Amino acid sequence: MTAGIQTALRLTEAGAIVLESATDELCELDSVAGDGDHGLAMGAAAKAIRRRLAEDPPADAPTLTELLATEFGAVGGSMGALLSVAFEALRDKTAACDAPLSARHVADYLGTVCEALSEFGGAKAGDKTIIDAAASAQEAAAAAADRGAGPAEALTAAAVGANAGADSTANMIAQVGRASRLGERSRGSVDAGARSFALVLTAVARAYATGGRA
């Protein structure tokens, strides 16, 4: 097993742990404008991912992203489908690249995720969805890459961007999905999908910075 996939597995584990631990927080956020089960779905996917990593860890990045696509798709619901599509797109992206992780890779991978999420779900930045966190993360990572940053700095910048993007959804009115029916009542709370994205990316950035370099 290469150092690169070992790093990827460690980062995946870190993201799954924080997602599972945030079950109650994410359910509470989702209960404002949804059916309140976002945290349960994400927690179930995280548990399944950790189990599969322990039992039969993937040997390369495309296989890892396929595993993630499968487990998120298995929990069902709109977010499960969105994340499954996003990781399928990321699988194709990682299959075409075997170079060590760089800041530009971070930005490009986040761009792939944003594009897949937007195309499948029909949302854009400002619609109060996961896109608001993902797009902000991608912009921050691209800016870091442009100034010559390394992958750790790019991931940290992306995490900061994701959290800012998630926080910004509290001031938005939902434009797509079930929450859009609430109109002005959807304002005042952070979107659960955006928060889960920010939580995971923050955990990934921290794990990389503390020893995850390939």
Task: Please indicate, yes or no, if residue 60 is contained in any of the structural domains.
Answer: yes
Q: What is the mean pLDDT of residues 76-99?
A: 88
Burial of 181 (0-12, 13-18, 19+ CB in 10 A): exposed
Q: φ, ψ for residue 120 (rounded to 5)? A: -80, -40
Residue 69 belongs to domain with CATH number = 1.25.40.340
User: pLDDT value at position 50?
Assistant: 98
Indicate whether 214 belongs to any domain.
no
pLDDT digits (tens, 9 = 90+) for 141-168: 999 999 999 999 999 999 999 999 999 9
Residue 6 pLDDT: 92
C-alpha–C-alpha distance, residues 211 and 12, integer Å: 14
Residue 155 domain boundaries: 3-209
37: DSSP letter: -
pLDDT at residue 92 in the model = 87
- pLDDT of 75 > 50? The answer is yes
Distance linking the first and last C-alpha atoms of the chain = 12
Q: How far apart are CA 76 and CA 84, in angstroms?
A: 10
The pLDDT confidence band at residue 213, using thresholds 50, 70 and 90, is very low
Q: Given a cut of 90, is residue 39 above it in pLDDT?
A: yes
Specify the higher pLDDT residue, 202 or 211: 202
Tokens of 94: 């990682």
What percent of the residues of the chain are helix, what percent strand, and what percent coil, each to the nearest 5? 75, 0, 25
Number of domains within the chain = 1
